Chain A
Amino acid sequence: MRKLLLIAALLPTSLLADDVVRVAVASNFIQTAAELSKRFSETSSIEVRLSGGSTGKLYAQILNGAPFDVFLAADAERPRLLEQGGHAVPGSRTTYARGALVLWSGDRTLVGRDCREVLNRGDYRHLAIANPATAPYGKAARDFLVDAGLWEQAKKRAVFGENISQTLQFVATGNATLGFIAASQLRHRNLPSTSCNWTVPDSEGSPLDQQLVLLKSAAGNAAAREFVDYLADEQAAAIIRRSGYGVPGR
């Protein structure tokens, strides 16, 4: 009997839980996804497992056969590429959230200052940006800086986060004076008090339409489909909106 228990304890939980959905989530959405999957698992017997990372990294992992069922990206480009490349279930691609880019600082010397003006004047030691090659929020930040004519100046003092979470960490620890983060991160429970923040208007930044796809390997996975359907549900939309995102079509 004791042996049996031991074996049961050693079994991967996937064999014990009814159904499992493995989700690759862009870092900016990880907290929201955690809340969504908690609610989702309350009403179904499906377990959701989240793996966070930059959109580009997750995309590369998926191309290399990472065992994910659903991909919640921070852009529309990678899901489109996956669909075109036959790695995603055709027609499963939808926009689940619309993000916003925020210039933020927790630097005490900047209290009461206008973040945008600090950026213009170059009054900072380091500016944190997510890696534009892998993180859509980083790409949006660079596009904004290029359009504003500030890239040449900013480039020299930019530090690049591996993903948007590390970018926030660079600013939150005070190692970077200010940084471009996701609006949803302003609701992070451990965020230090804000010295200044400025939301990049849609008109000045690239749109951050965040799309999802059901991945090819999950085509016959009913649990994965159920989770994707849940994300379009009214309750989920309310959570997503409360987390600082726009929800398309509502």
Chain B
Amino acid sequence: MNVLGPLWLSVQLALATTLVLFVVGTPLAWWLSQTASRWKPVAQTIVAMPIVLPPTVLGFYLLILLGPNGAIGSWWVQLTGSALTFSFTGLVIASCVYSLPFAVQPMQNAFEALPRQTLEFAWLQGATKLDAFFSVAAPMSVRGFVAAAVLAFAHTLGEFGVVLMVGGNIPGETRVVSIAIYDEVETLNYGAAHQMSLLLLAFAFVVLLAMYLVNRRWSER
């Protein structure tokens, strides 16, 4: 079996998910870091839930929601004519839910660590809140962004249970590397399973090591 196909698909999925999570997750993380709302604990809880929920719970609800008869799925069918389950787009949505806390939490932590005076100074200088975010807060939170990107990407790459439930194992579309490995193990093709697994093992090691090294350099500064 083709080893690189599923691997490349997983990389594409992880990239797309990370990108979407940056767009959606940054304002969310910012709001969580700044708000004094009494709803904050509730919002934080909802964001963190995918960490503790079994992937089967997410998979089950997503299967219903994204299906052609589901609330989101039926709307999508009307819009595009195709269903969300068993599609790459559907997997991106599922992965965004699944990896949301891994993107939001590091960003939120970074934003919360910003010295309050710096932001207030920027506002006093007449910067709009958006300006202040991009010219002051964001550059000071690079570490949080890097951690969010790495974790969201790596976590999506390792996704299995949710994809097994809503993916449908379609080659080139939803057969990501974790599913391909599962298939190869089940059919006793240990050679292909080894190739893919070793690549992922090496990748996980390199990525995490790089992150820890970067972190150390940062804290030495």
Binding site for B on A (CB under 8 A): 54, 56-57, 60, 63, 125-126, 128, 131, 133-134, 158-162, 170, 173-176
Contact = CB atoms under 8 A, between A and B. Distances in A.
A161 B170 CA distance: 10
Given A159-B168, A175-B83, A175-B86, A134 B64 contact: no
Given A134-B187, A175-B67, A175-B68, A160 B169 contact: yes
Nearest to A160: B169
5 contacts: A57-B186, A131-B169, A133-B186, A134-B186, A173-B64
Interface of B: 63-64, 67-69, 82-83, 85-86, 164, 168-170, 183, 185-188
Contacts of B63: 173, 175
A133 B189 CA distance: 11
B185 A60 contact: yes
B196 to A, nearest CB: 16
A175 B85 CA distance: 7
A54 B185 CA distance: 13
Given A57-B186, A126-B168, A174 B67 contact: yes
Contacts of B169: 131, 159-162
Contacts of A175: 63, 67-68, 83, 85-86, 168
A170 B185 CA distance: 23
Contacts of B187: 56, 60, 133-134
Given A158-B170, A170-B168, A125 B68 contact: yes
Name the 8 nearest CB pairs between A and B, nearest first.
Answer: A159-B168, A160-B169, A175-B85, A175-B67, A57-B186, A133-B187, A159-B86, A174-B69
A54 B86 contact: no
Contacts of B186: 54, 56-57, 60, 133-134
A175 B64 CA distance: 9
Given A125-B83, A173-B63, A131 B183 contact: yes
A126 B86 contact: yes
Contacts of A54: 186
A159 B85 CA distance: 10
A204 to B, nearest CB: 25
Contacts of B170: 158-160
B168 A160 contact: yes
A226 B170 CA distance: 43
A195 B100 CA distance: 39
Given A131-B183, A133-B187, A175-B67, A125 B82 contact: yes
A63 B64 contact: no
Given A125-B82, A159-B169, A162-B164, 4 more contacts: A128-B168, A159-B170, A161-B169, A174-B69
Contacts of B82: 125
Contacts of A57: 186
A130 B160 CA distance: 18
Given A63-B188, A126-B83, A133 B183 contact: yes
A119 B198 CA distance: 41
A125 B168 CA distance: 13
Contacts of A63: 188
Nearest to A54: B186
Contacts of B85: 175
Contacts of A60: 185-188
Contacts of B68: 125, 174-175
A63 B189 CA distance: 13
Contacts of B183: 131, 133-134
Contacts of B83: 125-126, 175
Nearest to A58: B186
A24 to B, nearest CB: 14
Nearest to B69: A174
A233 to B, nearest CB: 33
Contacts of A176: 86, 168
